[in-house]
Amino acid sequence: MDTTNVRQQRGLEIAARAKVVRLGAEWSVSSQSGTGKYTVTGLPVSMGGDAPRCTCPDYETRAVKCKHLFAVEYVIERERHADGSTTVTETGRLTKTVRRTYPQNWPAYNTAQTNEKDKFLVLLRDLCSGLPEPEQKRGRPRLSLRDAVFTAVLKVYTTASARRAMSDLREAHERGYTAKLPCHNSVLNALENADLTPILRSLIDESSRPLKSVEVDFAVDSSGLTTSTYESWFDHKYGAPRRQHAWVKVHLMCGVKTNVVTAIEIHGPTTHDGTQLPALVNATARTFPIGDVSADKAYGTVVNADTIAHHGGTPFIAFKSTHTGKGGHSRPTGSGAWSKMFGYFMYRREDFVAHYHKRSNVETTFSMIKRKFGHALHSKTETAQVDETLAKVLCHNLVVLIHEMYELGIEPTFFQQAAVPAC
């Protein structure tokens, strides 16, 4: 590789990760090894300067444009405004940080809160009414699929045990939302049914569909829900048995405006976050237009960037300190989205960070789910734990819909496009 290109690449890395500070007419540039600093005087020639100099050995012995001069040039270019002016940062100046606040529509919020339970029952009934009822040819009459899903989700919504939730189930039956009042064991058996898993997934997708005209930008992350079961193992390092709660790892994508969950994946606790993003993006793209997709460093792969770009989106995924901008060139068949976003990150850092920090909304989504419906799962078996997790997310989506009914004036209508898988 040409030595000039090597210096240019290293200057790009210094501008991305090291400290470059303007001190009056000079620039203080940290060395790439982090063991010292060099002083750059004068602006680059390409920016109207006259013979810039650097105190590093490379410049003093060879009189060539060193990597520190390239770093200063990149920092200046990154801070240049659209009108051609440049932001100059000087030390010794005290700036006041103004906290940004967001207005709350309190009348709509209060109305949604005071009517939430009544509206929740109606929306859940409307969702369940679209389920295809499987034909029963023999045996005792069983609880209908619609009643099984309705009662299982309502039980999770109440955050009570199956026995204590019977009062709410009885009230729902008296209002005509269920055809039959089930026994509390029937509610638990419904959560144990593996056939309900794809149905609950489809209902999560359907519950997000009324907001497809609202959500364009999305965020991705994972979080864990603890269970009532334990995992035991023998620790050879300390020579003693150990025991801890088992937990379920939830990967989801949500809209950044309303926090509605648009896609979900549930796997074991050791599943890597980055491998789940393509499935989440593909599932979301079936309903929503894809704009910005924000994610943390765990998702920073070429495949993930290309997947988002394939659907017309922009991947605002954080870069690791070891990234150099070469990732996109190692895959000739890719879209090059990873390299493009690295350049965006380098030259328009402030704008990149503003888009990236939409990712905080997925943290809010997890907080909403856990605070309202509990951070722990009460089910014992793996199937029931997955179904209970899906029910929590479905309850969250319906609560979000209720709020947007009063905030945005939407009227949710289900099953206009999607088909629900039969048992």
Q: Does 304 have pLDDT greater than 50?
A: yes
**If you ran DSSP here, which 8-state letter would residue 51 be given?**
S
For the segment 3-8, the average pLDDT, to the nearest whole number, is 77
- pLDDT for 398: 98
pLDDT score recorded for residue 362: 96
The mean-pLDDT minimum among 14-28, 111-125, 158-172, 363-377 falls in 14-28
Q: What is the mean pLDDT of residues 348-352?
A: 86
Long-range CB contacts (< 8 A, 24+ apart) of 314-319?
314/341, 314/355, 315/341, 316/292, 316/341, 316/352, 316/355, 316/356, 316/358, 316/359, 317/293, 317/341, 317/356, 318/356, 319/16, 319/345
Could you identify the residue written with the tokens 């980055």? 274
Max CA separation in the chain (angstroms): 92
Average pLDDT score over residue span 292-310: 95
State how far the Cα of 288 lies from the Cα of 281, in Å rounded to an integer: 10
Res. 1 pLDDT band, cuts 50 70 90: low
CA–CA dist 109, 244 (Å, integer): 40
| Residue boundaries of the structural domains of the chain | 3-78, 105-134+142-214+377-423, 216-375
What burial class does residue 125 get, using C-beta atoms within 10 Å of its C-beta: 0-12 exposed, 13-18 middle, 19+ buried? middle
Question: Percentage of the chain with pLDDT > 90?
Answer: 58
290, 217 contact by CB (below 8 A): no
What does the DSSP assignment read for 324-381? Answer: -S-GGGG-TTS--HHHHHHHHHHHSHHHHHHHHGGGHHHHHHHHHHHHHH-SB----S
CA torsion 315-316-322-326 (nearest 10°) is 40
Which pLDDT does position 270 carry in this prediction? 87
Indicate the angle between helix axes 184-191 and 145-158, nearest 10 degrees: 100
Residues 6+ apart with CB under 8 A from 81: 87
User: What mean pLDDT is predicted for residues 43-59?
Assistant: 76
Identify the CA nearest to 414 among candidates 254, 205, 157: 205
CATH class of 216-375: alpha beta
pLDDT in tens, 72-130: 888 887 766 545 455 544 443 444 555 666 788 999 999 999 999 999 999 999 999 99
pLDDT band at 291 (very low <50, low <70, confident <90, very high): very high
